[in-house]
């Protein structure tokens, strides 16, 4: 018998498929406190124009809510990681904003 543990995990391991939206929300709720600051990391090519676009998008998404961005260039300066913290009211808001940030042109990868 397979143990369907917490959040659809099998024997404590994530399923070998994409999580459903409800499963993603359950994982967010289990690992983050809402309302509160929600961390994200964006990887892109190192580019001042990308930082400006990212900052502008966060201002639009966050409105009056707080956000922080910390830029860390790669050792060869070809890529940069942007460590972002956004204030969100709920897991639903966190997931929506994560998806919106992931659609910004120039985002190569998100954590």
pLDDT digits (tens, 9 = 90+) for 29-72: 999 999 999 999 999 998 889 999 999 999 999 999 999 999 99
In the chain, % of residues over pLDDT 90 = 78
Give the separation between CA 54 and CA 60, rounded to whole angstroms: 10
Give the separation between CA 77 and CA 15, rounded to whole angstroms: 36
What pLDDT is stored for residue 16 in this prediction? 81
Band the pLDDT of 2: cuts 50, 70, 90.
very low
Q: Is the pLDDT of residue 94 over 90?
A: yes
Beta bridge partners of 110: 42
Domain limits, the chain: 1-31, 33-110
Query: What is the average pLDDT across 78-92?
Result: 96
Chain CA centroid to CA 101, Å = 8
Beta bridge partners of 85: 39, 68
pLDDT digits (tens, 9 = 90+) for 64-84: 999 999 999 999 999 999 999
**What's the mean per-residue pLDDT of the chain?**
89
What pLDDT is stored for residue 48 in this prediction? 87
Q: Are 71 and 88 in contact (CB under 8 A)?
A: no
Four-way CATH pick for 33-110: 3.30.70.260, 3.20.20.80, 3.30.390.50, 2.40.110.10:
3.30.70.260
The reported pTM is 0.80
């Amino acid at each position: 018998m397979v143990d369907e543990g917490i959040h659809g995990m099998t024997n404590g391991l994530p399923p070998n498929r994409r999580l459903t939206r409800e499963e993603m929300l359950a994982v967010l709720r289990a690992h983050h406190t809402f309302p509160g600051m929600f961390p994200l990391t964006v990887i892109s090519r190192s580019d001042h124009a990308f930082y400006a676009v990212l900052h502008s998008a966060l201002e639009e998404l966050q409105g009056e809510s707080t956000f922080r961005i910390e830029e860390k260039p790669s050792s060869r300066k070809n890529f940069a990681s942007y460590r972002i913290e956004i204030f969100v009211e709920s897991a639903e808001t966190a997931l929506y904003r994560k998806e919106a940030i992931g659609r910004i042109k120039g985002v190569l990868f998100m954590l």
